Amino acid sequence: MTATHTRSTAPATPIAPATPTSPSAPTSPSAPTASSVPSGCKTTYREAMREALREALRGDERVFLMGEDVGRYGGCFGVSLGLLEEFGPERIRDAPLSESGFVGAGIGAALAGMRPVVEIMTVNFSLLALDQILNNAATLLHMSGGQLPVPIVIRMTTGAGRQLAAQHSHSLEGWYAHIPGLRVLAPATLTDARYMLAPALADPDPVLVFEHGSLYNVSGDLPADAGPVGIERAAVRRPGTDVSVITYGGSLPKALAAADDLARAGISAEVIDLRTLRPLDDATIGESVARTHRAVVVDEGWRTGSLAAEISARLAEQHFYDLDAPVERVCSAEVPVPYARRLEEAALPQAATIVTAARRAVGEPLPATAGPAEPQPVDRGVGGAG
């Protein structure tokens, strides 16, 4: 039995068309659809994701979208709005409230030669399908001796900052980045939202795409030269010389805002967008730290056992003698994410806390109101030492 769901308001070489193994509905020329988004035009993150789905559905009849409310409702966050009218119910499939069931069906479809895109409403609900993702999608290629690839794409919304309280504000992508056999993506820009899906569908392995909920309404101009992107490398979003700020997803805008603040104080921060969380691009991270000799890792996950902890450990292992200061980590407070706005903001990484960490890293004096980082309390369990 699954949990009750609450609706929120809210490349590589292109895949060659293939003969479908199941019938697909014809495109209706009169069906109302959202407008296409060519490069050089103003768009939103949501619209860019929608156009990526539309392109994939048009380009390969094996591709279909499945999940809760993706059809008539247009997706919990409006990403698939209009696609049901354009492609029909065989290609845009509304699923029942059973993540284990429809993720498992997607894995079966991938094994049978289809290219499913499965949407899970929010990352917390993916836990109901964890057995399918971990024990099936991630392991079947290995357990079959290379005979059974699982080319499935699983999309889900992640992250906090929208007052959705503790059960709908998780950042669990670091958990999935722990699992061999998966590729884990975190598009943070309009270009990546528009173009990451194609190489994800071309990948023979299961790909998880984490879309931060705070980004859907972000708008801007899709660069005129925007086009196919790779999914192997991190990106330098802002060059700098004094400190490397390493982040991804919904924390990227905060890191860029912090870099602007630091620049006004004479500190040049280089901002690295990880883009792919598994496998991590050690080379780009290391090259940046070799230039700046200091690192701040920003991760909306909890600090203990986090993606930030993994990156910090790799920097210590691989670049110990490049570092002139300890690696700083800016993570969420180790509490269930609060509902109250001010408490939620206090619990999450913010531009101001990134600035404070960067100033510590470069040895700059902190403002009078910003002291050293408060140590996180240790949960010693029942009967533990006080």
Q: Is the dihedral of CA 66, 68, 71, 75 positive or negative?
A: negative
Note if 142 is an active site residue: no
Q: What is the pLDDT of residue 368?
A: 63
**Cβ(210)–Cβ(249) below 8 Å:** yes
Q: Is the pLDDT of residue 4 over 80?
A: no
Residue in the block written with tokens 């079966």: 108
Q: What is the pLDDT of residue 282?
A: 98
Q: Strand pairing partners for 183?
A: 207
Q: What is the pLDDT of residue 358?
A: 98
Note if 334 is an active site residue: no
pLDDT above 90 covers what percent of the chain? 82
Q: How confident is the model at residue 225 (pLDDT cuts 50, 70, 90)?
A: confident
SS3 of the chain: helix, strand, coil, percent, to 5: 35, 15, 50
Which residue in the list 99, 119, 211, 344 is annotated as catalytic? 99
Q: Strand pairing partners for 238?
A: 271
Q: Is the pLDDT of residue 24 over 90?
A: no
More confident residue, 345 or 225: 345
Q: Is the pLDDT of residue 21 over 80?
A: no
Q: Any idea which fold 235-362 has?
A: Rossmann fold (3.40.50)
Tell me the average pLDDT across 310-315.
98
Q: What is the pLDDT of residue 38?
A: 63
Tell me the average pLDDT across 166-174.
95
> Which sequence spans correspond to the domains of the chain?
42-221, 235-362
Q: Is the pLDDT of residue 279 over 50?
A: yes
Which residue in the list 55, 61, 85, 168 is annotated as catalytic? 168
pLDDT digits (tens, 9 = 90+) for 177-213: 999 999 999 999 999 999 999 999 999 999 999 999 9
Mean pLDDT of the chain: 88
Q: Any idea which fold 42-221 has?
A: Rossmann fold (3.40.50)
Same fold, 42-221 and 235-362: yes
Q: How confident is the model at residue 41 (pLDDT cuts 50, 70, 90)?
A: confident
Residue in the block written with tokens 């059974």: 148
Q: Is the pLDDT of residue 383 over 80?
A: no
pLDDT digits (tens, 9 = 90+) for 236-245: 999 999 999 9
**Cβ(13)–Cβ(202) below 8 Å:** yes
Tell me the average pLDDT across 264-286.
98
